[in-house]
Amino acid sequence: MNTLDEISFVVLSQESSEVEQMMYQLVNSSSTGLYTISIGLIPLFSSIADGWLSILESKDIETEISGTKIPFDKLVKSTRVGYKLFSDKKINRITKQVQSNSNNFLSLLKSDYNFLQKIYIKCFGQQDFGVYHLNTIPFGNTSQFNIYLDSILDISTNNTFKSLENKGMSLLGEYSENLASFISSTTNSFGFSLNKELKTYVQQNQFTNTDFFFFDNKRKNILGGKLPTSTQLFLFNIYCQNNLFNYAIPYIFHSHNKLYYRSKIQSYLISINVLKKVQKKCQDLLKSEYIEEINYLIHKKELYFTFENKLRNNIFHYQIENTPISAFSDKNRFFEEMIEYHTGMKFDKFIEKIDNYLIQINSLICSIIEYDTK
């Protein structure tokens, strides 16, 4: 390999084949619980598609995907950033956006109720928050998934739940099909070995979902921390996403591949960024031991991810930069070698550290928002 462009191309090709294998597993499996996992995969798969679109754009090659109401490339770019869960915005804007999305969804839930249903809700309330579990571990919730799908469903433009189902779900199905078709088309010429009969490694009874009262202050029965409601929800979204990337997806697909490690490191970086913002905004509401622990985590992150080494950019984007060609020798380990060059340690050792930090982060978040994991 002579250029970083060629090395980046190889890494993207490898992760594309991993995504295609996961798509076969989803198609071959019948568990309805996989629908919620599929929602969580959309930002990851869109990230792969965005990598290819960037390459095609750099070569002035136009991509036309027919039958879409919204330009395919626009949807790819907007859904790709879903896994950041607004963390790239200022904290005030984040909490307002989280609150607005949740209010819009709650309004839709009540939109098609008849008179008797409205009377019942007025008397007994409306459970307004759903949490999805795999083997009792929460990997998703309605707020988190609404953020993932916001640019597709555009909840704020729908007046009733029925219109959301008819218009939004149709667009979601259309986008999912086009996304799968586009990614598959990019891998056809690489000759990667795929098992087209492979299924997922999960049964329907391993999935559960629970509805809670969250925005109804009188009946609230989840998240009891002292931070503002929207800030707690923001942190819970991060907690669920960490479990999605680091537990649910590898468990279901029996996959510990390059995409798995990339998403693990991404979730770690997003978590640190979120904790840093919450600490700055809510310092007076956080216990001193929480502030101390957040500062420790930020310090450890900055040992490996500096502005100068561009490692963070190389994790979130598929165009590798600021890395000498001499750092690469094994095409099957280009991603790992890039990590090893910038961190100065063996890849497995670095991942072990990331795993330990993520455990610490999740435990800290649960303490802050008073979420009972039992």
The C-alpha angle with vertex 126 and arms to 224 and 130, in degrees rounded to 5, equals 60
State residue 109's pLDDT score: 60
- pTM equals 0.88
61 - beta bridge partners?
Answer: none
**Number of Cα atoms under 13 Å in the Cβ half of residue 28:** 16
CA 240/CA 132 separation, integer angstroms: 9
Other CB atoms within 10 Å distance of the CB of residue 11: 21
Query: pLDDT, tens digit, for every residue of 169-226?
Result: 677 788 888 898 899 888 776 667 889 999 998 999 999 999 887 877 777 778 888 8
Do 10 and 331 contact (CB within 8 A), yes or no?
Answer: yes
Measured CA angle at 272 (ends 271, 273), to 5 deg: 90
Looking from the CA of 21 toward its CB, the CA atoms found within 13 Å total 23
Question: Coil, strand or helix: which one is 56?
Answer: helix
Cα–Cα distance for residue pair 98/91, rounded to 1 Å: 10
State pLDDT tens for residues 92-147.
776 777 777 666 666 666 555 554 444 434 444 456 788 999 999 999 998 898 88
Compute the distance between CA of residue 197 and CA of residue 213 in angstroms, rounded to an integer.
42
Tokens 């640019």 belong to which residue? 151
